[in-house]
Structure 1
């Protein structure tokens, strides 16, 4: 009887295992709007001590079509503190029959080294299966690792993108006695199940089932607000003999300070040089600008990612000799230079990147990927991007602007905000003089002043590309059907909000359409806005306009017409008001000269889902206005 029961159990387990590889049993609802279905996603994170843990991730995904082929590969990173102990994979056909298993030859192992990563021990293992001739098919990957950098605990995202559904997923964290887990749940329908283990520790289990595929709507909130996620973090941890504790942001600040304390000393000769450099400056801002300019002229950025070196800076004395460093090293070095000039400054940890989400202020943990320098100055505070070779002192762009940063203080720091640039800071001020021939050809002189966030791309190419590459880059950005770029030039205006001046000389073929005695003249040469994507069904998520929508664009275009042409009709001034911004356009005639003035003011914000219809209507009206043309008739 015992043998029969054991045989029945084994058969049952085998059948269950086969089912999860069979595509035909997937429910229709899970396949709707999906390129792949997560059949099983099992993550187990076992903490053995404050300094060591193991992790096992098993994923089984049924690929439904060609866009889902990306799920037939996996990439996992590791370094000297993280070791991949096992990487397995298997490929199954639609019926669940094994086609092949992953071989060692299918696994690539390579460094993440790049030109700016001078010191980097980060590596990747990548495995993939060849493209399959038929769909659906199923892939399985098993990844096991040991972790010795427990500053970081895993983030669980079984449904990590749109067009991916989830049949079943579990996340298990095993904690030993004496170590506490901290976690944050987002969009998790059922709460965690906590159990006391036999050894006195605790086990935490999260489950997710039958999660339908999602498609992100235009201008929807960040993915992390829409997908199910569990963030975890330690309370007590240890990495390379450094011990830390996190219960609040002050703890995070104190640990970072302890890693880097005493590394901000510079040689005496350099201290004397800084004093001499700043001796005539009577204000903090003046001293900061001098030191920052010195930094930009004397140093260059490289990345250093070696174990705890990802968080511990190179000593300022070494940077003084080598003249290079990563964000931590250059920030620490600048702090030391300012200290020599009598200016107090503090590092500030930030989650940087134009598309990176802001730090979760309610979950103290190591969420950061960058360091900048904060210089308090009475009521004003300057932030310095010490890796930039050209940004003016105090300008942070949208790389680190408008987000929380953790101020590093000896006694424990706090979260503060970096500057948020307003529409009036982000200008595009354009003046164009155009001469039109009777055939409709045109020559144009264009002068544009970009400021704030609108100048970022132009400042970058000005310092990064040579003249020929700048020309190629510029030609791709000019949205005129048929033109020749005769000359162009760039110059900079340094300030708290920097500016770039662009001047262009263009020859434009058939800008105006000549037909008989009439001349059809489009009015907006270079700044037209397109329509917004209309909805095909009811909107579900709020609408979010980010920093890219915080701007003011103004165009003044003067057209010199051929002799003898008069307008067939007048265009009245136009104003389009909405909660998202304001559009105005007006026209005036002075003999054979037409002056067209257009202005758009936009501002960021989050709006309810119902507002999207208004957004589509607003953009439709603006796009129509930007297509306006004036008809001229040649007089006898």
Structure 2
């Protein structure tokens, strides 16, 4: 592919002598930028002008050459707006490989839609979007836009490299502000400070990068912000609607949030009596928390309500009590109010939620949060409550909000705290399988599988989001068996700070074992085979980050037909590596196979030079999980 692209660009260079080239011909891209690149930013100019605490203008000029289909995912323009922001200008052009304009953007081609999300019902956020949808590579797009934000709580950052496979010829970021206005910056992978100038009326700070190579896609590579230039921007003092705040410190920012939630935690008299009655029947504060949390789950459901400043101000607890719904802010505020009514102190907590979301920069106070939860200190422990879920166990955060920093809003302002971490002592899977193999090779399986902590997160969603009929359909197509029928299934959940899900499956797997002449071949690992296979890479650039940590223990007992003896057992497999360990063993006695497998994965950061060791570890597990026992029919 690379050779074809190089040849194409050479042909274009020859043709350039006879065909007029415009400003962005693709053949002028420096050869060194083509390595790993699917697209190249030719020019990116972002000018952020802070007029006051209530008005910010962002002007951007963005030119991108798309080299192949993989690069087209960045060939678009989009912007959100609401009652506190506006899109004032958008222009666009499409160029061919020679840099000649094909056509310009028409206003009628811009998509303008409301922002939608899971559970959203009432929002005023909208977004505009456009893509030329061109498919003759290489081609170049150009967008020139201007937007206005009527608040300074959120200031846009600068990320010259927007994703992997993107190179940069030139990108700059300029901040223009009043000389006395203060803001803060945090930089990653940028040496030195921006260039500052002032004419007395305005001060200007500028950063610029040139000739940045693309970041390749590598398994387990650090997130893009760790390896590419990035600037976060935060106001010191700011305004959001009629509210004024300060985020110079986390404590100050917490004081601002407190002004938004003060007075919102009053319950109706009837509701007060209900929650007091529930608490009166409990013996401990933890029991009260659990029972009142379950009460909240039973009478409320999540609905997104985000209108203007309302995206940060919760609806009052009285509103939730009467309506039975609210967003994360409203429901968490309601939970705080309920616990307050029975004499239990709890806190409103801001957090950055999402299974794959990175943690907030703890040394840079800002507003990177997208979710609110509730924290209840009880002695030396804290019980965490996810108030938007009607099924999550009290005290459990899981992969959505676990193991990250959050901002707890106290009477004195914000305090950074850490949510629970779930390591391999918590994340465990235990499986016990009893199976009977008949003489036709059909395997009848009874499986009892136990999932703990984050290993049960997806299963919890599966159990609560599907009818029995839908569960049957999903199970019938999702198991790693060649041909099988689900005869029955059942799920039982045990709530707690470390929740447990017990799964029972009854399965018939036709032709599971291979019968060839006198021999019988069978894979003793019935349901839990390793799936990861990596590609060899001798030019690995970045460290390896492994985030999964867990322990799996499988015990499988298979009864064989009469008259077979072992001809080839499994090789002894015992692997101990920095990435984890793996061990399997078999015992064969009285026509019964006992297979025991133990896999332990460790979380950590490892140097790039260890990549092929990881590849070998995964490969050995993959092969061992598919290894076959061979039996031979005994002579009569």
TM over 0.5: yes
Contact preservation (8 Å) 1:29, 1:212: yes
1:56 aligns with 2:59: yes
1:586 aligns with 2:585: yes
Shift of 1:108: 1.0
Q: 2:69 aligns to what?
A: 66
What are the Cα deviations for residues 369-419 of structure 1, in whole angstroms up to 9, with x where unaligned?
001111111110111000111111100001000000111112112111111
d(CA) in 1 for partners of 2:386, 2:161: 35
Q: 2:516 aligns to what?
A: 515
Contact preservation (8 Å) 1:20, 1:39: no
d(CA) in 1 for partners of 2:331, 2:177: 38
Shift of 1:31: 2.1
Change (3 A) 1:97 1:334: same
Q: 2:630 aligns to what?
A: 631
d(CA) in 1 for partners of 2:362, 2:161: 24
Matches within 5 A, 1:521-600: 521-546=522-547, 549-571=548-570, 573-600=572-599
Matches within 5 A, 1:607-618: 607-618=606-617
Shift of 1:567: 0.8
Say which SS state the counterpart of residue 213 (structure 1) adopts: coil
1:112 aligns with 2:115: yes
d(CA) in 2 for partners of 1:387, 1:555: 34
1:354 aligns with 2:316: no
Contact preservation (8 Å) 2:533, 2:622: no
Contact preservation (8 Å) 1:443, 1:508: yes
Contact preservation (8 Å) 1:20, 1:40: no
Q: 2:196 aligns to what?
A: 194
Moved more, 360-369 or 624-633: 624-633
Change (3 A) 1:20 1:178: same
Unaligned 5+ runs, structure 1: 1-16
d(CA) in 1 for partners of 2:227, 2:586: 46
Say which SS state the counterpart of residue 140 (structure 2) adopts: strand
Change (3 A) 1:616 1:71: closer
Contact preservation (8 Å) 1:37, 1:63: yes
Q: 2:141 aligns to what?
A: 139
Shift of 1:586: 1.2
Matches within 5 A, 1:207-226: 207-226=208-227
Shift of 1:504: 1.3
Q: 1:377 aligns to what?
A: 378
d(CA) in 2 for partners of 1:181, 1:550: 39
d(CA) in 1 for partners of 2:400, 2:606: 24
Q: 1:41 aligns to what?
A: 44
Say which SS state the counterpart of residue 439 (structure 1) adopts: coil
Moved more, 284-293 or 113-122: 113-122
Shift of 1:358: 0.5
Contact preservation (8 Å) 2:179, 2:198: no
Change (3 A) 1:352 1:114: closer
Shift of 1:135: 2.1
Contact preservation (8 Å) 1:572, 1:587: no
Moved more, 617-626 or 341-350: 617-626
Q: 1:9 aligns to what?
A: none
Q: 2:244 aligns to what?
A: 243
Q: 1:313 aligns to what?
A: 314
Q: 1:5 aligns to what?
A: none
d(CA) in 2 for partners of 1:120, 1:527: 44
Change (3 A) 1:55 1:558: same
Say which SS state the counterpart of residue 280 (structure 2) adopts: coil
d(CA) in 2 for partners of 1:603, 1:141: 45
d(CA) in 2 for partners of 1:380, 1:86: 53
Say which SS state the counterpart of residue 616 (structure 1) adopts: helix
Match of 1:81 among 79, 84, 100: 84
TM-score by length of structure 2 reads 0.94
Moved more, 114-123 or 94-103: 114-123
Say which SS state the counterpart of residue 190 (structure 2) adopts: coil
d(CA) in 2 for partners of 1:217, 1:113: 32
What are the Cα deviations for residues 498-526 of structure 1, in whole angstroms up to 9, with x where unaligned?
11121111111221111111101111111
Contact preservation (8 Å) 2:41, 2:169: yes
d(CA) in 2 for partners of 1:131, 1:174: 36
d(CA) in 1 for partners of 2:571, 2:233: 60
d(CA) in 2 for partners of 1:206, 1:77: 25
What are the Cα deviations for residues 398-455 of structure 1, in whole angstroms up to 9, with x where unaligned?
1000000111112112111111012121121111111112232211111111111011
d(CA) in 2 for partners of 1:40, 1:482: 55
Say which SS state the counterpart of residue 219 (structure 1) adopts: coil
The two structures, once aligned, show a CA RMSD in angstroms of 1.6
What are the Cα deviations for residues 113-160 of structure 1, in whole angstroms up to 9, with x where unaligned?
34611210110101121424x322211001111101210111111211
What are the Cα deviations for residues 497-556 of structure 1, in whole angstroms up to 9, with x where unaligned?
11112111111122111111110111111111135413322322111111xx21111111
TM-score by length of structure 1 reads 0.94
d(CA) in 1 for partners of 2:100, 2:573: 66
1:161 aligns with 2:163: yes
